[in-house]
Amino acid sequence: MIKKLLLISIAATLSLTAATNKEIEEYKMSIFKNSKQATVKSVKVVSREPAEGFAEWEAVTILIEFVVDKNGKKQTLKTPDTVFVRGELMADELVNLKKSKSARDSFKPKADASFFDAEHLVAGSKDAKNKILVFSDPLCPFCRDIVPDIIAAAVKHPSKLAVYHYSFPLTALHPASEAIVKAEISVRGSVKNKAEFMTKLYATEVEANETDEGKIAAKLSSELGVKIQKSDMAKKETITEYSKEVQAAYKLLIRGTPTVYVNGEIDQSKAKTQQLLKDLK
């Protein structure tokens, strides 16, 4: 009982002295201030959770927004990163020398139940035996290969596989992706067959470098069989949902696509995904 009270007291003391989100953000901004590679616009704390294997340390996910010069044009980009905090201390890396363990390499944010909601369920039953969570870009060649296959498997075996999909446009590679995702979000609530719609979306032929949202809206309307207008993509609710969509990816430190989780565990090589699809044939 005494030991338990002591641990509670220590935890309370640490929580009182722990660096605040604002302190973390301000310090990181001061470090980036003199960067010659890019102009950093903001640093925002996205999440905080215990750093597994490193007692009393927190793994803090931050989102860095910066501006780069690309072919003479200014482009705003975002990237997630991790720092580690204990009380008033902060470090970019922690290493357990006895175990040869790196906190940065070991830290994998968990895809908790909040990611598996009805809005993002595109195929299969929510009670399916297996669940795949995928973050993808509609113009990413690898995504266009694997996403339709995953959806098709869930449509065929709804009790065995459920697919939850989040869009994560790689705007540095495919500038048109942002407008495509906003268009999809703007009609998401009215789509009756999500599996069919998303399969068609990943077969659309929008030019990756297209920046005219009006042309993109017209192209998608024609190919998807739904009415999408440029004004729909600019609505406040669409922008809000778009922000939530990409924030979900940043929370999991996702930087590329497709990123796939099978039954809660990240599948870096996609081997588990491919084996699951093979078993369902």
Kindly report the pTM of this predicted structure: 0.83
**Residue 140 banded pLDDT, cuts 50, 70, 90:** very high
Q: Which of 29-38, 54-63, 207-216, 222-231 has the lowest mean pLDDT?
A: 29-38
Residue 268 pLDDT greater than 80, yes or no: yes
Rounded average pLDDT over 20-46: 91
User: What pLDDT, on the 0 to 100 scale, is given for residue 72?
Assistant: 73
Taking Cα atoms as reference points, which of 8, 19, 77 lies closest to residue 48?
19
Query: pLDDT tens for residues 202-243?
Result: 999 999 999 999 999 999 999 999 999 999 999 999 999 999
Phi, psi dihedrals of residue 157, rounded to the nearest 5°: -130, 65
Q: Which of 49-58, 65-74, 127-136, 237-246 has the lowest mean pLDDT?
A: 65-74
Q: Which of 74-78, 114-118, 167-171 has the lowest mean pLDDT?
A: 74-78
**Residue 14 banded pLDDT, cuts 50, 70, 90:** very low
Total residues belonging to the chain: 281
